[in-house]
Amino acid sequence: MPVEGGIVENSQQVELQKDGMAIEKKGQERRTPVSRVTRMGGKADFTALEKALRPLSEDPRKSCSDQVLEVLRNAIICARIQPGVPLSEVAVANVLGVSRTPVREALRRLAQEDLVRVYPQAATVISPLNVHFLTQGCFIRRSLECANVQELAQEISTRDLRELTRIIEGQGAAIKNGPLSDFFRLDEAMHQHLFEIADRSLAWTHIQQVKQHFDRVRWLLNRDPKHAERAYQEHLLILERLKAGDGTGAAAAMYEHISAISQDLLQLRDSAPESFFEN
């Protein structure tokens, strides 16, 4: 059965199946529903792909493959291309106006991050949300962020508190007036700023490397105003504890804030198709 919104290239329909599982190179097996690893005949859906991908940047400091990687990664994390959807190398190249070489390199790197799955001679598909990576990312992020705010509470300046307040007030405005995508952006900015003012940018860089699957869930959740409102209230509590110089309280508030994703994940798994997730 065709996958709604799938980006495909012309070919006869190919379906990989063995004991109900998709097969990867070297005999490795991953539980991806067969219906999600189907390449279909017919014209590639360029219209859907054009809506999902934003234009390449004109930054001469970035290679073409780096720019393609950034565009595709952003589209996957922000759920503009859904898990399980086939992704055509040819279609991406045509939409972005580049050759297939940088697209192939970008897809290879996305496969290393498990954001796409490559099935040789069959298809490349957007990976399901990986629960194993999510739980590890949550643990790493929680450990570093709690330790950061606990120490930061004793040394944060009035100027830094004003900037943090400005960012969080912007989050409240995004919830009230929209768009909610601004809330996600300012949510990210707040967490990054907490590391920057503590002069721990390297720690934030490490978090960035492990939280991509975490962000896929956060993006889905932040489309719900109720979730965004709850996260906003949690941010206000963290800010309050920092203003009071209460490191223990700030760490506890941060722990609850990041841990909430675990319960949200359970609810999301119940409401979303099972094929979007794997254990």
Q: What is the pLDDT of residues 203-215, one digit of tens each?
A: 999 998 888 888 8
pLDDT band with cut points at 50, 70 and 90 for residue 265: confident
User: What is the CATH classification number for the domain harbouring 98?
Assistant: 1.10.10.10
On whether both 147 and 226 belong to a single domain, the answer is yes
On whether both 41 and 123 belong to a single domain, the answer is yes
Q: Are 86 and 48 in contact (CB under 8 A)?
A: no
Residue 2 lies in a domain: no
User: What is the CATH classification number for the domain harbouring 216?
Assistant: 1.20.120.530
On whether both 52 and 139 belong to a single domain, the answer is no
On whether both 190 and 264 belong to a single domain, the answer is yes
**Amino acid 225: pLDDT:** 82
| pLDDT (mean) for 22-34 | 39
On whether both 196 and 62 belong to a single domain, the answer is no
Q: Is a pLDDT exceeding 80 seen at residue 276?
A: no
Residue 110 lies in a domain: yes
Q: How far is CA 274 from the centre of its chain?
A: 18
Residue 1 lies in a domain: no
Residue 149 lies in a domain: yes
DSSP per-residue string spanning the chain:
-PPTT----S---EE--BTTBEE-GGG-EE---GGGSEE--S---HHHHHHH-PPPP--TTS-HHHHHHHHHHHHHHTTSS-TT-B--HHHHHHHHT--HHHHHHHHHHHHHTTSEEEETTTEEEEPPEEHHHHHHHHHHHHHHHHHHHHHHTTT--HHHHHHHHHHHHHHHHHHHHS-HHHHHHHHHHHHHHHHHTTT-HHHHHHHHHH-HHHHHHHHHHTTSHHHHHHHHHHHHHHHHHHHTT-HHHHHHHHHHHHHHHHHHHHHHHHHS-GGGEE-
| pLDDT (mean) for 72-81 | 89
Residue 5 lies in a domain: no
Which of 127, 147, 177 corresponds to the end of one domain? 127
The pTM score is: 0.73
Q: Distance between CA atoms of 165 and 160, rounded to whole angstroms?
A: 8
On whether both 145 and 266 belong to a single domain, the answer is yes
Query: Considering its fold, how many domains does the chain have in total?
Result: 2
On whether both 118 and 154 belong to a single domain, the answer is no
Q: In the chain, what percentage of residues exceed pLDDT 70? A: 79
Is the pLDDT higher at 66 or at 6? 66
pLDDT band with cut points at 50, 70 and 90 for residue 34: very low
pLDDT band with cut points at 50, 70 and 90 for residue 38: very low
Task: Kindly state the tokens that stand for 212.
Answer: 């991509």
Q: What is the pLDDT of residues 235-252, one digit of tens each?
A: 999 999 999 999 999 999
Instruction: Provide the residue range defining the domain that includes 239.
Output: 131-278
On whether both 177 and 144 belong to a single domain, the answer is yes
Is the pLDDT higher at 167 or at 268? 167
Is the pLDDT higher at 274 or at 130? 130
Residue 4 lies in a domain: no
Is the pLDDT higher at 91 or at 267? 91
On whether both 141 and 113 belong to a single domain, the answer is no
On whether both 234 and 209 belong to a single domain, the answer is yes
Q: In the chain, what percentage of residues exceed pLDDT 90? A: 44
**Amino acid 179: pLDDT:** 87
**Amino acid 221: pLDDT:** 75
Q: Distance between CA atoms of 84 and 116, rounded to whole angstroms?
A: 9
Q: Is a pLDDT exceeding 60 seen at residue 132?
A: yes
Q: Output the average pLDDT for the chain.
A: 80
Which of 112, 127, 142 corresponds to the end of one domain? 127
Residue 72 lies in a domain: yes
**Amino acid 11: pLDDT:** 35
Residue 7 lies in a domain: no
